[in-house]
Structure 1
């Protein structure tokens, strides 16, 4: 049995190299599509982003506010390493493009561990280079939690308004957004690719196409193992006297508060459900109740504070359909036809993965050093889905 203790390195095919950037069409204007468009535009591509909606971030990426926090495991598992790399990539974009305190906040996140396991990889410590460790009594008390509650503190974490990041990416020079432009089919031409509407109208021609349409990516890439995942959250505006923790909480659901909106008011949000194979966009009363129960477990004090908003009907509902792969990791890479690529299946971690996946795709096109070690890059590649 050949089972060496070291990683076996096998030389793969040479990376597909692009000498001169040309025209690229991106289908989908959520986090994945906007991140890809920005990464390619910075390298000289002329990118047109198509979306069926009249504005960007109209689908699952339109969540009012989301949590950005890593996955942590005692053995530093694959997902832990990937999310940590992804958050660092996103962090650079947040600092470069957005206003801290208005569009995002780098204030850390508390992750409750109801099962009591707060172990981190060996050698990690609060004084070390890592960015997650068991929460202190002071951090728990400041969030209104019992000082002995098992929880992790993530220093490189916080909340983000996804639509603000998407809009900033799409403002990069070289990008055109075309809303109300659903792409029905693709065809090959002598020049590359043609994009067609349902009325058989030619929408555009491009040298390359990137599919970043969430769970609808399956219409263009049926070979990918994609699964829709419905998520419902509750949110609302905070009254001046509403006492909610300033630090976002994560765990079995999440709670985010003190988020400024466009009118200067403050928002709160809690949730979310995770319903596989559902594309129902209508709010479900059972899911609203499930989110209330989840909040009671996460932060009983906040659940009591927000009870009047739920009971009076002032709590609003948002529903989005996320897209997951069979192994719950993003899918980035070439498809079965030359010049056709995918960047999809970011699941419920779009904020963690969008920037990293976009840079991985762009680096592969240009023969650049990859933003991840080769083994981690392969863990995101479309090639892993081949039979």
Structure 2
């Protein structure tokens, strides 16, 4: 998941030259004018936005070759200055060799007219890990930055098929960068395009024109910029799309994990649950203009597990590249960016003090191999530290060496939920328990124990942890409860200066208001909410074992809190559209006879019903990206996770597994 940076040579001190491709990134003369002409004007963005000013569908631009971000910055500037435009802008960019953050700052210093946009991008710019990085910039502007091979990323994100309005093909010339102009990639570009989508490129080469035509575009040679006489523009027509499909150029067979198209409706949703999953879900929809009703049985938000005073943010680590390792990394990085942005605009405070995971407390049966981790993760995500170095960061003597998450930290989840809900499109209905959720006249109706209607909408999201099994469409889910007790103790004259979150047998948080939070005990299948003195003792003992001084912590209890985590039978989040169990079992019954059978059919799902539960102890890292994924799915947008990740989280995975096991 590491990424290789662009190898640059600087000409005239600030003009970037690619060592990988042997060429300049842009013209020596008026690169801003050239970019506007070749991409913004050739794709007629201003005129098309004016014509689509009443559209409630975001306008989607995709770029091959993000490079210095010049095209994106100019597009953002035009978007900001346009009075008439669609409801949102979704910019999807692909870059195999991204600039380092330092190089990006250096090159963008050339463009003072774009300084405001450059600074905002630099704050959130990811330059060290591959995959899709969702960046939330202006209120209605999303940048999905895919770092890695464009062909691979497009193939993996086949859920973006038919969603792109305009393409910037900003690669180096075909002789220097032939991969960009291969037929297979251009066919993927065509498949991802809407009818009427446009393409523009500096290149006017005959080979490029022929490849675009073969992929189903109508191509025109037009005036280039400055000394360059010609460039190409192209349009994707419905007739060409039909011709390409009939030739079998791009075909994607549906599977059980293929979701149906998003519903067209009035942009209203019900969310059941006001913990991290529900509140982040409400925020993601509200940012898109949806009116959201959040219903929770407790008197205030974050009253379950999310109500513990301090939560740690760190990345769940794997030893091999897989859809799961990529999801947890992308989720962690997205959460880190979002919490920093909320800290700047709300009462939330994300304390980026780093997290130290003591090596002695790791799973002894599955020890981590640092060499594998080093090959997979960049140092910005995880480092291994000797005891002395770990102790220096923690500002105390630790018992062992540690895995260090430099981007990790902690926050108050109650403040986080309040920050999420502080949006004019969100209404909170506390103290109301939903006992039934039924589909009537194409609306999901949430009712209380007396059958009284609490709310109704075409879209509903179940985000109420283990109570999701209360409702008939989700009663079958293999969820389990895990009792956890967190303990608060006073700070000692030693512990008051603890500088990082320390995770050992227990997690010890830095001092706040003269106390430390210690979390947490772990008791699967236990739903007892009473305080256990034995758990308090074990929490203190486990916390004290992290430190070399025997009296480092004050052992006097101040208070304790018990909450029930929710996990699934495979210990992964359950996020996606809710499947129709009976229909899926019948549709994929062939798997009972042959577990390897290929059933080329999309799954059967309840229309407008979605789920986000079982985040377990990783919710601070996984809830925000899960909510963005669902909001994109609900809103009919390109998704921030690929098809394999989506399938790994899909609630229907349990149905398919049971069929294959003949259950």
Identify the match of residue 356 of structure 2 among 110, 116, 123.
110
1:55-82 C-alpha deviation (Å, 9 max, x unpaired): 1001111110011011223335655433
Once the two structures are superposed, the pairs formed by residues 300-339 of structure 1 within 5 Å of their partners are 300-301=548-549, 304-310=551-557, 315-335=558-578, 336=580, 337-339=606-608
Higher relative contact order (CA 8 A, sep 6+): 1
Q: Return the match for 2:643 from 353, 371, 374.
A: 374
Whether the aligned pair in 2 keeps the contact of 1:27 and 1:183 (CA below 8 Å) is yes
Residue 477 of structure 2 aligns with which residue?
224
Query: Normalising by the residue count of structure 2, what TM-score does the alignment of the two structures yield?
Result: 0.52
Seen in structure 2, the aligned counterparts of structure 1 residues 281 and 148 have a Cα distance that, compared at 3 Å, is closer
Unpaired segments of 5 or more residues in structure 2?
1-151, 157-251, 581-605, 659-663
Compute the displacement of 1:165 (Å). 1.0
Q: Secondary structure at the match of 2:556?
A: helix
Which runs of structure 2 are paired with 1:255-274 in the superposition (5 Å)? 255-259=508-512, 265-274=513-522
Shift of 1:288: 1.5
Query: Is 2:533 the counterpart of 1:285?
Result: yes
* 2:518 is equivalent to residue 275 of structure 1: no
Runs of 4+ in 1 over 6 A off after TM superposition: 6-9
Aligned 1:77-156 pairs, distance under 5 A: 79-98=324-343, 103-114=349-360, 117=368, 119=370, 121=372, 123-124=374-375, 128=378, 130-136=380-386, 137-143=388-394, 149-156=400-407
Alignment check: 8 A CA contact 1:257 1:266 kept: no
Q: Distance in 1 between matches of 2:408 and 2:305?
A: 21
Is contact 1:15–1:365 with CA below 8 Å preserved after alignment? Answer: no
Instruction: List per-residue Cα deviations over 1:189-240 (Å, max 9, x = no partner).
Output: 2141211111221111111111100111110111211101110111145367
Specify the SS of the correspondent of 1:159: strand
In structure 1, distance between residues paired with 2:545 and 2:323: 28
Contact 1:124/1:130, CA 8 A, preserved across alignment: no
Is the Cα–Cα contact under 8 Å of residues 235 and 316 in structure 1 kept in the other structure?
A: yes
CA contact (8 A) 1:98 1:168 kept: no
Matched with 2:289 is 44
In structure 2, how many angstroms separate the alpha carbons of the residues matched to 1:276 and 1:362? 31
Structure 1 match to 2:443 = 192
TM-score with structure 1 length normalisation?
A: 0.87
Match of 2:631 among 362, 367, 371: 362
Question: Counterpart of 2:509 in 1: which secondary structure?
Answer: strand
Aligned to 1:262: none
Number of residue-to-residue matches in the alignment: 371
Structure 1 portions without partners, runs of 5+:
1-5, 260-264
Contact 2:350 2:409 in 1 (8 A): yes
What root-mean-square deviation, in Å, do the aligned CA atoms of Structure 1 and Structure 2 show? 2.7
In the aligned structure 2, how far is the partner of 1:353 from the partner of 1:147?
29
Q: Following the alignment from structure 2 to structure 1, what is the Cα–Cα distance between the partners of residues 457 and 537?
A: 47
Following superposition, the deviation at residue 83 of structure 1 comes to 2.3
Deviation at 1:147, TM superposition (A): 7.6
Q: Judging changes above 3 Å, is the alpha-carbon distance between structure 1 residues 256 and 235 closer, same or farther for their aligned structure 2 residues?
A: same
Aligned counterparts, 1:149-168, within 5 A: 149-168=400-419
Distance (whole Å) between structure 2 residues aligned to residue 289 and residue 300 of structure 1:
19
Please identify which structure carries the higher helix content.
Answer: 2
